[in-house]
Amino acid sequence: MITKRVQLMGKHGGSFSPLEAPEMSYKEFVLVIPSIREINIDYLKYIPEDIEILVVDDSNGNIKPNRAHMQVFDYDFQRKVMGDDSYDLIPHKTAACRNFAFYYIWKETDFKLILTLDDDCKTEPGFMHSYHQLGQNRDLTTVTGHAWFNTIDQYGFHPPMFARGYPYWERFEKRWSITDTRARIVSIMGMWSRVLDVDGLDKYLFSDYEDVYQGVKLQYPLLRVGTRSAPTKFSFSAMNFGFIREVLPIMYQMPMVERFVDRYSIWRFDDIWAGYVLESLIHLKNDAICIGEPVIEHLKAGNLKKEVLGEHYGHLISPYFYRLIDAGASVLDSSSSYAEMYVNLFDHLVTALEEYKSEFSIPEVYCQYLRPTFERLLRWGMLFN
């Protein structure tokens, strides 16, 4: 059931018309798909045939190219490109394996605009229209006013539903400031219909989270979230997003842990935590990160038990993770490149973690994830400097 729409509260009261289709050239685009199964080319119907597609094969050999301009990277190829010293930086058995393609694009190609889709996402007409604005300076409708913005508010559902990873402590009624700004668009997160990207616990407890939502309408086709002076964050989903080459070094999706404490894993926060880092650095440079079009059809719900198990410690660690990133970002020079800022951020956090552990009262068990992760992120950043 699709619930009643309400408007975001601000000076712009009405819905915006869809983005007009610009005249497009696709030679600068590349599409990344992480997968463990054969790619369904019907899902890619609205990806132009001349766009290069890079499939990161996390099945180790079960995927074959089945469309023109498609390359498939198995484990042997990944190891060859990364080298034995850096191969461990590529997570496996998680969509974060897409990190390999990010490094490959940086090292081996000159593509300027990078898109990525999960393998259970079906493109819709007009898929490329919004992504064609990447790298451009634009007048943008911008939402600020609180620490976090819930992306599903773009649909105006009432009662509200919350996106996967959206902090539970932020679940209260908010009145937003909707203003006009101008900035360079460096990343866009496209939205989703049908199976919404929400927390497993919410799906377990509330029937509306399990419903199928087709024909959803965005209140704003492209909405900038946060600015340098008002750095509102949102819960980042990697199933459908795009970005410019300049931010490739800071797009690393976080490693997850199959067995963390007792029988719990840390799962489904690879993109959420990566997104927080991404948004923090984009805000520092006063570039724009946006949400909205293109809306893809997300076709498959995950294993509910695995989702609940994996998200539990993710939500517990999150407030400490965010506070650490904020502390590290506060010492950065925003005139540096994105690659330099990323290295400096995690060099600082690796060095200062024990001090922050005491200051922020971080439980030692959480540091057993944070220590090696920050060291890993520093190593990743150094590959680009």
Q: Are 155 and 251 in contact (CB under 8 A)?
A: no
Give the residue numbers spanning the domain of 101.
4-382
- What residues in the chain have per-residue pLDDT under 50? 1-21
Q: CA nearest 114: which of 278, 244, 288, 214?
A: 244
| CA dihedral sign of residues 300, 2, 153, 132 | positive
Q: The whole model's pTM is what?
A: 0.93
- Indicate left, alpha or beta for 268 from its phi (over 0: left) and psi (-120 to 50: alpha): left
CA distance linking residue 262 with residue 248, whole number of Å:
35
Report the 3 state secondary structure along the chain.
Answer: CCCEECCCCCCCCCCCCCCCCCCCCCCCEEEEEEECCCCCHHHHCCCCCCCEEEEEECCCCCCCCCCCCEEEECHHHHHHHHCCCCHHHCCCCCHHHHHHHHHHHHHHCCCCEEEEECCCEECCCCHHHHHCCCCCEEEEEEEECCCEECHHHHHCEECCCCCCCCCHHHCCCCCCEEEEEEEEEEEEEEEEEECCCCCHHHHHHCHHHHCCECCCCCCCCEEEECCCCCCCEECCCCCEEEEEHHHHHHCCCCCCEEEEECCEEECCCHHHHHHHHHHHHHHHCCCEEEEEEEEEEECCCCCHHHHHHHHHHHHHHHHHHHHHHHHHHCCCCCCCCHHHHHHHHHHHHHHHHHHHHHHHCCCHHHHHHHHHHHHHHHHHHHCCC
The pLDDT tens digits of the residues spanning 140-195 come to 999 999 999 999 999 999 889 999 999 999 999 899 999 999 999 999 999 999 99
Contact 201, 311 (CB under 8 A): yes
By C-alpha distance, which of 17, 224, 26 is closest to 128? 26
- How many domains does one find in the chain? 1
Cα separation of 250 and 283, whole Å? 13
- Confidence at residue 28, expressed as pLDDT on a 0 to 100 scale: 95
pLDDT at 24: 60
**Which two three-digit tokens encode residue 8?**
């975001």
b/e 74-105 (16+ beta carbons within 10 angstroms → b): bbeebeebbeeeeeebbbbebbbbbbbbbbbb
Q: Is the four-CA dihedral 306, 312, 318, 320 of positive or negative sign?
A: negative
Cα separation, 188 vs 116, whole angstroms? 11
Residues 6+ apart with CB under 8 A from 281: 247, 250, 329, 332, 338, 341, 342, 345
Spatial CA neighbour of 345 closest among 373, 369, 378:
378
Instruction: Write down the pLDDT at residue 330.
Output: 97
The CA angle 192-194-199, to the nearest 5 degrees, is: 75
SS (HEC) of 279-307: HHHHHHCCCEEEEEEEEEEECCCCCHHHH
Per residue in 241-289, pLDDT (tens digit) is: 999 999 999 999 999 999 999 999 999 999 999 999 999 999 999 999 9
